[in-house]
Amino acid sequence: MESKQNKMAVMPMKQLLVTMSVPLMMSLLIQSLYNIVDSMFVAGYSEQALTATTLVYPVQFLMIAVGVGTAVGLNALLSRKIGQKRVDDACRAATTGLVLVLVESLIFCLVGILGKQQVAGLLTDDPSLQADCLSYLSINLVWCWGLFLQTYAQRLLQAVGDTVLSMVSLIIGAGVNIILDPIMIFGYFGCPEMGVAGAAAATVIAQGASAAAALLFNRTKNPLIHVRLKGYVFRLKDVGDIFRVGLPTIVMQAIGSVMNFAANSILLSVSSTAVAAFGVYYKLQNFLMMPMNGLGQAAIPIAGFNLGAGNADRIRSLQKILTKAGIFFAIAATVVFLAIPGPLLSLFSAGEEMRAIGIPALRIISITFLFSTMTILWGYLASGLGNGVISMVAGALRQLIVLIPLMYVLTKVFGLPITWLAFWASEGTAFLYSLFAIRREVKKKTALIESRQEK
């Protein structure tokens, strides 16, 4: 593993970021692609099915928020301990992380068993839509173990710089999902036609396959970090260290779930087609923003390692290169949304009403991609430096505090497409906050490193 450590310590920063982020970009693009394919098959089944899966998305997003937030906190902690050459401490923290994700899985599983009716009732009053939501939640919540375990195991690989095997595990899950989707939704090869429930079943089976692969890779290929149950002692300090970064990330991600729920409620007052159009936008946006998320996820272990190793100049270099790369990808995504919104919507069997709503939405919101990209990337960098609050506050500004009230007012007063201008205000506000906050954080951490070196 010494070579891995040396890679994060001495490899030229641009090369290092490319080496680590490209497999992550591919992983996330593939993951987002199978989410899009999933929606395409569901849309082919019926527009109501697409609306139902859009309505349950905040619940899925909440699970992802908890799993990813815990994994981000663990990733930052492990990378820092590896940089400090404290491998035994890293292994103990990894074991604590496993305990945490298993408890989180159990909580959501119990919600699925005991509270799925109540959750479906919160999402919609329409009996038909509610029935479809319930079908999806009955499977997605109860069998959520794969989602949490795959996220956990993939971050253990990323913490030691192995983003390729992390990518492979996601590819396995994506392949399983894409194969099973049409079989289970439409009922091919002897499988009963399951509709919305089939989409949920295909997803959880794919997550389980991805988790199994990632856990196996850690067992056989991870040279440093292993779960050690023998002699393990649960320590609250490890929990605190994980959630110091992880909890703000969970809150920030959960804000996305609240935003989706609130936006769906606002748009449902216009029409169910508006909800479906927004769901399509959100998945397309996630797909085109995946390269930025790959960059950000690569930045966490790099920043954490170099913070632990006391390399201030490399932290500054990482910030500069991350910013330049983000600008490039944001402009590319904006051009795509501005140029071909119609063909993008056609992938989801969009009718005339959905096109009339979706085309202006894609074009108006895409203007904010530069702001949102920099906000997201700087949040990842701050998390790698041990500060998850910056990402949390920025997420609250861009997805909740400014966006939802303004979206509500614009919808009630002006209607669509003026509603989408709320994104301009929210993303601009979050960008200005993030710009100030990341400059302060990098300056603070690098000054602390240099002051220690002088002593």
Four-residue CA torsion sign, 405, 406, 410, 416: negative
CB contact set of 218 (below 8 Å; sequence gap of 6+): 153, 156, 157, 225, 226
Q: What is the pLDDT of residues 174-225, one digit of tens each?
A: 889 889 989 999 988 888 888 888 988 998 999 999 999 999 998 888 877 7
Segment 258-285 shows an average pLDDT of 86
pLDDT at 5 over 60: no
Instruction: Report the percentage of the chain scoring pLDDT > 70.
Output: 97
d(CA 440, CA 44): 49
Segment 250-269 shows an average pLDDT of 84
pLDDT at 307 over 60: yes
CA-closest candidate to residue 98, choices 141, 148, 168, 147 = 148
Q: What is the pLDDT of residues 230-250, one digit of tens each?
A: 777 778 888 888 888 788 778
Three-state DSSP class for residue 348: coil
CB contact set of 162 (below 8 Å; sequence gap of 6+): 4, 221, 222
CB contact set of 343 (below 8 Å; sequence gap of 6+): none
Look up residue 155 and give its amino acid. Answer: R
Give the CA count within 13 Å in the CB-facing half-sphere of 431: 15
Q: What is the pLDDT of residues 120-162, one digit of tens each?
A: 888 888 888 888 888 888 898 889 899 999 989 988 887 777 7
Helix, strand, coil shares of the chain as percentages rounded to 5?
85, 0, 15
Segment 392-418 shows an average pLDDT of 93
User: DSSP code of 223?
Assistant: S
pLDDT at 255 over 90: no
Helix boundaries (H) for 46-86: 47-83
CA-closest candidate to residue 314, choices 296, 301, 295 = 301
User: DSSP code of 414?
Assistant: T
Residues for the chain: how many in total?
Answer: 455
DSSP E strands: which ranges in 94-210? none
pLDDT at 451 over 80: yes
What's the predicted TM-score (pTM) here? 0.71
DSSP E strands: which ranges in 284-325? none
Q: Please tell me which residue, 316 or 255, carries the higher pLDDT value.
A: 316
Q: Within 10 A of 340 (CB to CB), how many other CB atoms are there?
A: 12
- Res. 1 pLDDT band, cuts 50 70 90: very low
* Cis amide prior to 417 (ω within 30 degrees): yes
Q: Please tell me which residue, 412 or 83, carries the higher pLDDT value.
A: 412
d(CA 336, CA 340): 6
d(CA 141, CA 23): 29
User: DSSP code of 222?
Assistant: -
pLDDT at 414 over 90: yes
